[in-house]
């Protein structure tokens, strides 16, 4: 996440010191602007929309407090750091009233300014929501480079082939068509996200219709649930994960009209592994087994418990998100079914021998 800063002071030296002796790039600041009085600063703020304003208080043509009042009307989230060579209680009261990030007395202490900037930038990062379209295509707030303007053009031939593959139970062909479609959509960042959501709903209906024609009621119900999830999903990768989960469930259901407990559990987990509230007891009831029987039968079939399988599924998806997205660690945990970020870290470390942060550092080059 990148920021911009406006430095306002009627004296040239403080402006130059702040501009040239603060390592702005360390704070994620890409643009630094200067103004020599409050009036010109207001014009520049209206044009450049800075995230942070470092301003002297006593200035000609508009003082710092008056500047802050006006800027807050057009940029309510802009953070102010006030500078003053005067220990005036009235100025301090004004700064407090305007909810300034800090009030720093002159002469300028660069270490103090750096400390304040660290706090302000962290506050901005924690409260600012990323652009929804950047979030949709890139999965996180850190990459703020402009999106390209490519727009996806629906391919009727591809959808005809996809429909035939689903109806004719051709798993390989279905997966072969879905993956390139996903990669192409990722490249077409000018496509409205709602258009892509509609496209994914269209594909989900292919699975619902095919499941209903084969009396695969659980798959059809999962398809309807997928439609609801698609409407609220914020990322393209999330949409694709929903579709892949449904695809796996559909073709697994086709492989046996009456699958054994192992297959039925794995099908259920493919559809529900990311749900924080998932329990073995609820799954056993949904599948029509007693909890004791299902746990024993599953472990006998594959040599591990259902909870171990849930953990394995979640951590495999977590590894993929850590290596290929810029999501924060607690966000990764939530995506894979752990509502508590600290618990996610403990489980990940226990099972892999390294922390999520260490795993990301080792594998981010694969992205």
Q: Over the stretch 165-190, which tens digit does the pLDDT of each residue have?
A: 998 888 899 999 999 999 999 999 99
Q: Above 90 in pLDDT, residue 104? A: no
Bond before 107 cis per omega within 30 degrees: yes
Q: Distance between CA 229 and CA 126 in Å, rounded?
A: 26
Mean pLDDT of 69-90: 80
226 vs 140, more confident: 226
Q: pLDDT tens for residues 199-240?
A: 999 999 999 999 888 778 899 999 999 999 998 898 999 999
Ordered domains of the chain (ranges, CATH): 3-128 (3.40.50.2300), 131-255 (no CATH), 258-367 (1.10.10.60)
Q: pLDDT tens for residues 296-344?
A: 989 988 899 999 999 999 999 999 999 999 899 999 999 999 999 999 9
139 vs 154, more confident: 154
SS3 breakdown of the chain: % helix, strand, coil, rounded to 5?
A: 65, 10, 30
Contacts 24+ apart (CB under 8 A), 297-305: 297/261, 297/262, 298/261, 298/262, 298/265, 301/260, 301/261, 301/262, 302/262
- pLDDT band at residue 28 under the 50/70/90 scheme: confident
Q: pLDDT tens for residues 110-131?
A: 999 999 899 888 888 777 766 7
- From the centroid of its chain, how far is CA 9? 38
Mean pLDDT of 267-271: 92
Q: Above 80 in pLDDT, residue 22? A: yes
CA atoms lying within 13 Å on the CB side of residue 86: 10
Q: Above 60 in pLDDT, residue 257? A: no
Q: Above 90 in pLDDT, residue 103? A: no
pLDDT of residue 124: 84
Q: Above 70 in pLDDT, residue 101? A: no
- pLDDT band at residue 64 under the 50/70/90 scheme: confident
Q: Above 90 in pLDDT, residue 43? A: yes
């Amino acid at each position: 996440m990148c920021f911009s800063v406006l430095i306002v002071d009627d004296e040239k030296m403080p402006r130059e010191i702040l501009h040239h002796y603060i390592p702005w790039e360390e704070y994620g600041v890409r643009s630094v602007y200067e103004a020599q009085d409050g009036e010109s600063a207001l014009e520049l703020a209206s044009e450049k929309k800075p995230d942070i304003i470092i301003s002297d208080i006593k200035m000609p043509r508009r003082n710092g407090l008056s500047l802050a009042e006006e800027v807050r009307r057009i940029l309510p989230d802009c953070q102010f750091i006030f500078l003053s060579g005067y220990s005036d209680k009235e100025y301090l009261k004004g700064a407090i009233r305007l909810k300034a990030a800090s009030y720093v007395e002159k002469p300028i202490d660069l270490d103090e300014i750096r400390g304040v900037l660290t706090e302000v930038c962290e506050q901005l990062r924690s409260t600012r929501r990323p652009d929804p379209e950047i979030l949709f295509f890139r999965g996180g707030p850190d990459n703020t480079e402009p999106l390209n303007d490519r727009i996806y053009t629906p391919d009727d031939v591809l959808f005809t082939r996809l429909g035939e593959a689903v109806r004719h139970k051709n798993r390989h062909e279905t997966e072969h068509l879905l993956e390139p479609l996903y990669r192409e959509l990722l490249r077409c960042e000018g496509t409205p996200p709602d258009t892509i959501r509609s496209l994914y709903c269209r594909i989900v209906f292919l699975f619902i219709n095919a499941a209903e024609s084969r009396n695969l009621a659980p798959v059809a119900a999962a398809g309807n649930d997928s439609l609801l999830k698609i409407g609220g999903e914020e990322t393209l990768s999330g949409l694709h994960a929903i579709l892949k989960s449904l695809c796996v469930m559909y073709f697994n259901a086709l492989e046996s009209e009456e699958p054994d407990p192992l297959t039925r559990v794995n099908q259920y987990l493919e559809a529900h592994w990311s749900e924080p509230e998932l329990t073995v007891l609820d799954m056993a009831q949904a599948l029509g087994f007693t909890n004791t029987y299902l746990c024993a039968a599953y472990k006998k079939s594959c040599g591990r418990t259902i909870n171990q399988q849930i953990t394995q599924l979640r951590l495999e998806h977590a590894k993929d998100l850590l290596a290929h997205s810029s999501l924060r660690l607690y966000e990764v945990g939530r995506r894979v079914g752990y509502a508590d970020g600290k618990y996610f870290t403990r489980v990940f470390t226990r099972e892999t021998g390294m922390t999520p942060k260490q795993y990301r550092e080792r594998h981010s080059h694969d992205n």
